[in-house]
Structure 1
Amino acid sequence: MNSNWFKLLMKAMKIDYGKNLLLKGVPVIFNKKGATLKIGRNVVIKSSFLSNLVGLYQRTIIVTRTSEAEIHIGDNVGMSGATIYARKSVKIGKNTHIGGNAKILDNDFHPLEIEARNADNKEKIGTRPVVIGENCFIGCNSLILKGTVLEDGCVVGAGAVVSGYFEKNSIIAGNPARLIKKVQS
């Protein structure tokens, strides 16, 4: 599919995107009616296998799942084969890079309680906003979980499972991710 056609489809879904959006391959982008999905200027979204030689497992997926959900992606953000999935809120600051196959999720996807899960009660799905600051780097195959806050300048190591609050310029890695050291300014 030609990226100009895809951009027309994005406009039809009320997805607000800035100038110079570059789509390499065809992403999966869906904005639920009533939700907010904003993509800044000069954003690069890579979805084709050869667009990132880290080895992409999938196309980039960006989804608002409820009518209250919001996703805000700042200017000059780049991502490759990433998943950004919001039931509540995911905000990504400008100049942030999201490595191949990273996942950013503001929810548990399913209720934790057995009865609610068996009844497929979507109201019981745990959600908390995710905030990723400016000038961050999210390593490939990382998992950013609900409620995570990464202040400006944070670096997430490849394969990290991240949950919680991390101060400005933190370098974090591991499962569960923990502070390794601070970036020198």
Structure 2
Amino acid sequence: MTGFVKKNIKFLKKKAIWFYIKYRHAPVLGKGVIFNGKPIIYKIPGGHIKIGDHTLINSSNKVYHANMFTRSKIIVDRLNGTIEIGSNCRIHGTCIHAFKKIRIGNNCLIAANTQILDANGHALCYDNPAARLTTSDEGKEIIIEDNVWIGLGCIILGGSHIGEGSIISAGSVVKGPVEKNAIYSGNPAVLIKKF
């Protein structure tokens, strides 16, 4: 294949991904949003997805420094559910799944294989555990403020509020508040250092 043909095939693939994202589930996209590879983006009617200017959603292992288990997935599957991602973020091979609301600030780094889930999926149903099969959780809002860095393979659960400038160490599980300008690590994540 000539260089011209290769270049045109690459261009057409990018256009096909852009067309899929723009028209399949119509998120609101800022200027210069970059999709590297084809993510899974899905929202039901009445759901909302907004991605800010110059944010990268990476679904390709090709140039990423760690092994990414799967492509990025951004899903809103409840009426009035919302995902808002700020500007200048870099999100790699991450699942962001909202029943209620997930808000990610500006300039955030989210490493591969991270799960950001505002709901359990099923209600707890302590009085009738068999009902877990047919029930659904309501969800609790997640807020990730500006300039947050979330390491590889983290899990961010409903009700979490991660303060500005904080770092979540690789493999951590966050449920609840995280102070700003701090490092949290572990399962459950606890304060390691404050700046």
Q: Same fold (TM over 0.5)?
A: yes
Q: Deviations over 1:3-24 (max 9, x none)?
A: 3233333333231011111111
Aligned pair count? 180
Of all paired residues, the percent bearing the same amino acid is 33
Partners of 1:77 and 1:31 in 2: CA distance: 21
Structure 1: runs of 5 or more not aligned? none
SS in 2 for 1:4: helix
Structure 2: runs of 5 or more not aligned? 1-11
Superposition deviation, residue 115 in structure 1: 3.4
Q: Deviations over 1:70-89 (max 9, x none)?
A: 00000001011101000000
Structure with max Cα Rg: 2
Q: Deviations over 1:143-173 (max 9, x none)?
A: 0011000011010000000111112112100
Superposition deviation, residue 126 in structure 1: 4.3
In the alignment, which of 27, 48, 69 is matched to residue 15 of structure 1?
27
Superposition deviation, residue 111 in structure 1: 2.1
In the alignment, which of 105, 121, 133 is matched to residue 135 of structure 2?
121
- 1:24–1:51 contact (8 Å) kept in structure 2: no
In the alignment, which of 79, 83, 89 is matched to residue 101 of structure 2?
89
TM-score if structure 1 supplies the norm length? 0.92
Runs of 4+ in structure 1 deviating by more than 4 angstroms, as ranges, are none
Q: Within the alignment, does 1:2 sit opposite 2:13 as a pair? A: yes
Mapping of residues 147-162 of structure 1, within 5 Å: 147-162=159-174
- Aligned-pair Cα RMSD in Å: 1.3
TM-score if structure 2 supplies the norm length? 0.88
Partners of 1:102 and 1:171 in 2: CA distance: 17
Moved more, 108-117 or 92-101: 108-117
Partners of 2:82 and 2:44 in 1: CA distance: 10
Query: Which AA in structure 2 matches 1:176?
Result: P
